[in-house]
Each structure stands twice: as C-alpha cells, then as structure tokens.
C-alpha cells in the first residue's frame, strides 16, 4: 500500500509539474509580463506608414483601390505596409463607409484601439495572427458588398461586421480549446470549457474598447449594446457551433423567411458572413489558399509537438507523422467549408463572387486530392512544400 501510495503521489506530482510548465509556456501574458494597467495605458504604437519608402506606399495605396476584389493578396499587402496590414485596412474601410463621421469617432482613439488589437495578435503564430485577421476583414468587406445584403445594411451593421472580423481571434495562443481544457488552463476554467477561445477574444476586445475610450462619447446603453453584439458575432465563430448555425441558415433558406428589414435577421446574416470569412481560405485562388493551408497545419503540428513534449495525447490533426496537409484540407473542405458555402451561394441567389468562390473551392479540393495521391508519408514528416499541380495555379478572375 505504501508503494502504491508513493507511486500515486509521484504521478500526481509529475502531472502538477507538467501543468505548471505548460501554463508557463502558454501564459497569455508571457509577452508583457504584467497587465496593461501596470505597463501604462498607452500601448506601443504600430510601426507607422511614414517610415516606409514612397514606392511601397504607392503600391499599398494601389492595392487598397482594389480591396474589394477576391484575389486580393493580403500577404503582399502586409509586406507593403511593413506588417501594419490590419490597422491600415481597417482605417481605409472605415473611411470607405464614412463610419468615423457617422459615429463621431476620435481618430486618435481609433488608431490607438486598432493598434492595440493588432499588437495583441501573436506574430509567432503561423496562422492565427494579425495577417489572418486582416484577411478575414477583407473577406468580410467583400461579403458586405454583396447586392443581396448591401442595400439593407445600416452603418451600425457595417461597423459591427468589420470590428468583429478584425478582433475575432485577438490574443489567440496558437493552440485549440481541447488543449486548454486538458492542460487545465485558467481560461478553460474561467469560461467553463465552453467557447473558451472565442469568449476570450470577445472579452479582450471589450477590454481594449474601454481602455482606448473609442466608444466613451456614446450613450452607455448604446456602447453596452455594441459590446454585446460584438460578442454574439465573435462567439459565432466557434467551430463547435458549426452545425447549429448551418441548420438554422438552411431552414431560413428552405422556408424563404429571411427578412433583412429585421435587425435580428441582419445580425444572423452577419454571423454567417463572419463564419464564412473566417474559413474562406479554401475559396481563394490556389496560390493564396495553399499558403493559408500550410500555415494552419504548421500551427496544428506545433501543438502536436508541444503535446508530445509534455507526454500528452496528440490531438486530432496535430500529428505530423500521420496527418498530412492534403488529408487535413480535404476533410476540412468536405465537412466544414463546402456545406456552409453552398448555403451562402443559395443566399446570394447566386452572386458572381459566390460562384467564383465555389469554383476555387472545387479546384483546390481537386488539387489537394492529387497531392495526397502523389506524396508519401516521408514528405509529410519533413513538412516540405509539395510541387504545384499543373494547370491549376493562379486560375480565377478578378471579382469585383
């Protein structure tokens, strides 16, 4: 009994040490070592555009003139803006929609808020970083321009859609919810193992809104309403709620009972639009889509490596020895992306953009299928880039 008790105690001690190490490694404040209040209220300002060469500024401005096209290259735009793509894009879109004037926003506070959001994305993450946020925001802009939707949107709808897109993954740690739960991370406890990351993204956004004072000039009930609606949008991106939203969307379309004159129905469509924007990578042209696919799989593999390091069970899709990029992408497209975008296609009746997105989706799925057949497990283990499939690269039109 003493031996068994001693063994149990040792196991418990090992588990405690492991959890402590993981918690320290994944601490959400590991980059700042203290709260914002302790660091002072003024965050580091993003690198300003005036530091860039005039030629780069010109190219960035030219790209912004085509920000509503579906083949917009967010990776190039991020390089041209010196890693400042999210702030630059949001300021531009706020001007496009005249939101600054409509809501009487203070430009200093707006720039401060956007800078805080951009900074709180972890640049170390291969996928869940500020470039992903900018990409989702650009996609959301394309969806807000859809003829079926655009004529019904109020300035508040547009404001909420763009803000939620920009902040929907803020302070993402680069690991998923099951990882946080099994390592007993404090966020999992705080949000009771439900929509853990999405709740954290939302509450972080609310904290930055209040700290920046962006909405402080608005009536208290209005600012609270905006915070709650932002939460409803961001929480909708929880992949565990995919079927819930898909079924509701499908029922509305089957019954033809969507009334975009109703604020509640417009909000639901904004939720669907944000969900589409969040997972639209497989609907982009191949050379952009592929980069995103490799990035998200690299982030999965890093989580798997971390789990292996701490003797945890490796999560699904996170084992680089057995989960290849093509296999992961084919499953993701088949079970998550295709069903949602087919319904979005119905909703738009269909639009040129939605047809183009489906075309890219089907071509990209075929590309991944050919790559899965062509490469061996050793190629997966090395994480090397596969060769481009012939005849598929760069296909697709410039969709307005």
104 is in an annotated binding site: no
Active site residues: 128
DSSP for 328-353 reads: HHHHHIIIIIHHHHHHHHHHHSS-HH
Q: Are 237 and 168 in contact (CB under 8 A)?
A: yes
| Rounded CA separation 22/375 (Å) | 34
Q: Give rounded-to-5 percent helix, strand, coil for the chain.
A: 65, 0, 35
C-alpha atoms less than 13 angstroms from C-alpha of 229 in its C-beta half-sphere: 22
278 is in an annotated binding site: yes
| Joined tokens for residue 76 | 């190039």
Nearest CA among 297, 281, 277 for reference residue 289:
281
CA dihedral 79, 95, 111, 237 (to 10 degrees): -70
| Rounded CA separation 262/279 (Å) | 26
Q: Are 282 and 340 in contact (CB under 8 A)?
A: no
131 is in an annotated binding site: yes
257 is in an annotated binding site: no
DSSP for 232-279 reads: HHHHTT-GGGHHHHHHHHHHHHHHT---TTSHHHHHHHHHHHHHHHHT
152 is in an annotated binding site: no
- How far out from the chain centre does Cα 360 lie? 20
- Can you tell me which residue has the tokens 């969507």? 258
Helix (H) or strand (E) holding 16: helix 2-26
| Rounded CA separation 3/146 (Å) | 69
Q: Are 66 and 393 in contact (CB under 8 A)?
A: no
Helix (H) or strand (E) holding 120: none
Widest pairwise Cα distance in the chain? 76
Nearest CA among 273, 286, 355, 294 for reference residue 73:
286
| Joined tokens for residue 387 | 């060769």
Positions at the binding site for AMP: 128-132, 169, 278, 329
Positions at the binding site: 128-132, 168-169, 278, 329
Positions at the binding site for Zn(2+): 132, 168-169, 278
């Amino acid at each position: 009994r003493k031996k068994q008790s001693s063994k149990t105690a040792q196991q418990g001690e090992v588990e405690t040490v492991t959890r402590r190490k993981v918690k320290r490694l994944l601490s959400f404040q590991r980059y700042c070592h203290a709260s914002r209040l302790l660091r002072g209220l003024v965050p580091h300002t993003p690198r300003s555009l005036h530091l860039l060469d005039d030629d780069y500024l010109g190219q960035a401005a030219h790209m912004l003139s085509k920000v509503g096209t579906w083949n917009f290259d967010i990776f190039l735009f991020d390089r041209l803006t010196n890693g400042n793509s999210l702030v630059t894009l949001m300021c531009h879109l706020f001007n496009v929609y005249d939101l600054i004037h409509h809501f009487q926003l203070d430009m200093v506070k707006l720039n401060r808020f956007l800078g805080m959001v951009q900074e709180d994305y972890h640049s170390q993450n291969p996928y869940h970083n500020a470039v992903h946020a900018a990409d989702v925001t650009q996609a959301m802009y394309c969806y807000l321009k859809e003829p079926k939707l655009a004529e019904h949107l109020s300035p508040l709808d547009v404001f909420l859609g763009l803000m939620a897109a920009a902040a929907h993954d803020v302070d993402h740690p680069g690991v998923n919810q099951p990882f946080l739960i099994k390592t007993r991370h404090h966020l999992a406890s705080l949000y009771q193992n439900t929509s853990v990351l999405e709740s954290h993204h939302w509450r972080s956004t609310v904290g930055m809104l209040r700290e920046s004072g962006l909405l402080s000039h608005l009536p208290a009930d209005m600012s609270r309403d905006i915070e709650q609606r932002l939460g409803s949008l961001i929480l909708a991106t929880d992949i565990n709620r995919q079927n819930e939203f898909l079924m509701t969307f499908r029922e509305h379309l089957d019954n033809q009972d969507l009334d975009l004159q109703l604020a509640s129905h417009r909000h639901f469509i904004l939720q669907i639009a944000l969900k589409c924007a969040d997972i639209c990578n497989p609907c982009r042209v191949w050379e952009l889509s592929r980069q995103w696919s490799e990035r998200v799989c690299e982030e999965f593999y890093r989580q798997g490596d971390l789990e292996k390091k701490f003797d945890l069970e490796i999560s699904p899709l996170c084992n680089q020895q057995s989960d290849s990029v093509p296999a992961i992408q084919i499953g993701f497209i088949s079970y998550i992306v295709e069903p949602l975008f087919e319904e979005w296609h119905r909703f738009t009746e269909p639009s040129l953009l939605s047809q183009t997105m489906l075309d890219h989706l089907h071509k990209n799925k075929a590309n991944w299928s050919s790559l899965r057949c062509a490469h061996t497990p050793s190629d997966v283990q090395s994480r090397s880039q596969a060769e481009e499939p012939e005849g598929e690269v760069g296909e697709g039109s410039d969709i307005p």
